[in-house]
Structure 1
Amino acid sequence: MRTVQLVAVGVAIAVLATGGIIAFRLDTGTRKLDYIAGSNDPNRVELDVTLQRVDVTGRELDLRIVPILYGNLADGTDAVPARDLEIDTSSLTTGLLRFKAHDRVSLQDVRMGVDEGLVSSYPFDSYAATIGFFVTAGDQNVPVSLRFRSYDALFTAELTDAAWPTGQLKANVLAGRTFSSSVLAWFLMVAMWALALSVLGAALTIVSKKMGLVWPAMGWMAATLFALVGFRNAAPGSPPIGALIDYGAFFWAELLTTASLVYVTVNGIRRARLT
């Protein structure tokens, strides 16, 4: 019988581990997608754009941009422009990017504002932003293409609704929580409710059995009260207080735990005074 139990436990562990590896591969696979949009003209500027971070509190996207030159716009290599290159962006902080002719281009960090999305919706929050580029080489509009990918560990992002008249490119970026961060956030919410309900059940049992002041149980309840704060602060992305996770679980779990501890204490004191 013991051998059967050990085998069952081993199989369960193997199944769970395999499921975890599959989920990991599916999650990481969504982060490696490249989105390509724009002109396919042989003489064009391709903007290699990577999303480094979604700043949910500042409502900005941190983008890293590297121009890649094709055809007669390149001076021997795709990293050296044959003519002065200017890239105007829709960023309100960075604005115009300039690259001198015959000098190697370098990556540029640009911050784009978010149009839609609030961190207060965590863990269901998602963000939308419009990114735009206007490119000239030697004071002439040139065809533009865009390669976009996301490197933010907490968000997956995709490119939609791109338009590219000559010299311009505009597209929408949609960023949402990764599968892993969403699962962890949901687990924390369920765990907070489970802990609070466990404390409530213990409190009702102690009072109904007229057990008085049960110090170990009361110590556990008090410890749970502070453990819930640690659970809340472990939420991926460190959402500010007042997010949906608080109204959906944390505030209620703290309230139930506090009320249970006070209920047991008051009833225990009353019984102790009567004996």
Structure 2
Amino acid sequence: MTSPTPARRRGRRAALVGGILALVLLYVVVILLYAAGGRIERAEVSSGGAGDPLVLTLTPASIDGAAGHMTLRIKPGPLGSYSSDQFSMDETVHVLVTGTDGSRTIEYGADEVAATETVTLTLDGFIEQWPFDRYTTETLIVPLREGADGEGVPIPYVLSVDGRVPGWSVQAEAVATDPMVTEDGPVAPLGVQFTVTRAASTVAFGIVLLTLMVIAPVLVLTAAITVYRGRRKIEATMLGWFGAMLFATIPLRNFLPGSPPIGSWVDYVIVLWVIAALIAGLVIFVLAWLRSGPDGVASAQSANDNAHSQDDGSDADAGSDGGGAGGGE
């Protein structure tokens, strides 16, 4: 056997170093993307009107693409001119929130501590397009006090959006509608439009997992075709390895971030063909094993018998040499 030339050894060493550097670079990029992602760009809009406004801070808490829901926390404070102690409202204020599963009204009673409330907004989008799925929703949030005629009258307020949702990229755009004339002057009902996409770190994580899934059938097919062409001997124990690769595909697919449902486009583009390639590799290996037939088994048995006979002959020669030496003494 000829040893590799120095140039070939240097090429292999360079390829190994390059592969290690690529993995380290990929690792650093994914970590940096995760650290930088998920932060919501702060958005703020005022309704106008006289006096100190009521500030409502909106914080997206969680996003469920499969259910099409986004949980939103609404925190009041500062409470503005309609509160003398900044802990409770001087009169009952109802906050109307649209875009939920039906319109919802949050009540801040007089002389009651104004606490954070949670609402669930509905999202428009398709999780089947994971990891490039995109969702939108719009909500109108208006605090109302009871007017002289018993109707709800908007009070001056400010909507502020802030927070962070890990694994998601959320863009908030404040929307102001036509103002309404009130005792506090013109007050415009305010809304917020949310646009939600997967964070870059989540997309990178999913691409890495899908790449690993593609590598598995490539290895299996390479081994199976090599054995079928007779360049490597048949090892029946490799069937267990092929089976393990096949059964590892589904847990790996279910580990994808965001848990895309079965039938997503990623299943048709990648997962289905990964399973098909693994089965093909298993079939090719079994055909190679069957093709070897009894001759392959007989030749293997003959090789084992020859090895045993050579061992017995060596033991006999060693015994005779020992006996001759004893007789010479």
Bin the TM-score by the shorter chain: 0.7 to 0.9
Residue 20 of structure 1, CA deviation: 5.7
Where do 1:43-192 residues align within 5 Å? Answer: 43-77=52-86, 79-90=87-98, 91-93=100-102, 95-114=104-123, 116-139=124-147, 140-160=153-173, 162-164=175-177, 165=179, 166=187, 168-192=189-213
SS in 1 for 2:112: coil
Q: Which stretch has the larger CA shift, 153-162 or 124-133? A: 153-162
| Residue deviations 1:217-236 (CA, integer Å, cap 9, x gap) | 32221111111112111111
Letter of the 1:75 partner, please give it.
S
Aligned to 1:260: 281
Residue 32 of structure 1, CA deviation: 5.2
Residue 265 of structure 1, CA deviation: 0.8
Q: Is the CA contact 1:132–1:170 (under 8 Å) kept in the aligned structure 2?
A: yes
TM-score by length of structure 1 reads 0.85
| Residue deviations 1:1-39 (CA, integer Å, cap 9, x gap) | xxxx9xx89x95987776565444433xx5153222233
CA RMSD of aligned residues (A): 2.8
Residue 119 of structure 1, CA deviation: 0.8
SS in 1 for 2:162: strand
Distance 1:253 1:75 in 2: 66
Q: Does 1:221 align with 2:242?
A: yes
Letter of the 2:257 partner, please give it.
P
Cα pair distance change 1:92/1:167, threshold 3 Å: farther
Number of residue-to-residue matches in the alignment:
265
Q: Which stretch has the larger CA shift, 14-23 or 181-190? A: 14-23
Residue 212 of structure 1, CA deviation: 6.3
Aligned to 2:293: 272
Cα pair distance change 1:38/1:217, threshold 3 Å: farther
Distance 2:256 2:239 in 1: 27
Letter of the 1:136 partner, please give it.
L
Percent identity of equivalent pairs? 21
Distance 1:16 1:61 in 2: 31
SS in 1 for 2:165: coil
Aligned to 1:36: 44
SS in 2 for 1:31: coil
Distance 1:17 1:128 in 2: 31
Distance 2:286 2:169 in 1: 48
Q: Is the CA contact 1:75–1:102 (under 8 Å) kept in the aligned structure 2?
A: no
| Residue deviations 1:160-179 (CA, integer Å, cap 9, x gap) | 25124325212210111112
Residue 248 of structure 1, CA deviation: 2.4
Aligned to 1:232: 253
Distance 2:244 2:136 in 1: 41
TM-score by length of structure 2 reads 0.72
Cα pair distance change 1:192/1:17, threshold 3 Å: closer
SS in 1 for 2:263: coil
Cα pair distance change 1:184/1:85, threshold 3 Å: same
Q: Is the CA contact 1:155–1:177 (under 8 Å) kept in the aligned structure 2?
A: yes
Q: Is the CA contact 2:174–2:193 (under 8 Å) kept in the aligned structure 1?
A: yes
| Residue deviations 1:83-117 (CA, integer Å, cap 9, x gap) | 21101111235611111112111111111111x21
Q: Is the CA contact 1:135–1:167 (under 8 Å) kept in the aligned structure 2?
A: no
| Residue deviations 1:106-159 (CA, integer Å, cap 9, x gap) | 111111111x21110111111101111122124421123211134432212111
SS in 1 for 2:257: coil
| Residue deviations 1:198-241 (CA, integer Å, cap 9, x gap) | 21121111111265642233222111111111211111122211
Point out where structure 2 has 5 or more consecutive residues left out of the alignment.
1-13, 148-152, 180-186, 297-329
Q: Is the CA contact 2:143–2:154 (under 8 Å) kept in the aligned structure 1?
A: yes
Letter of the 1:26 partner, please give it.
A
Letter of the 2:90 partner, please give it.
A
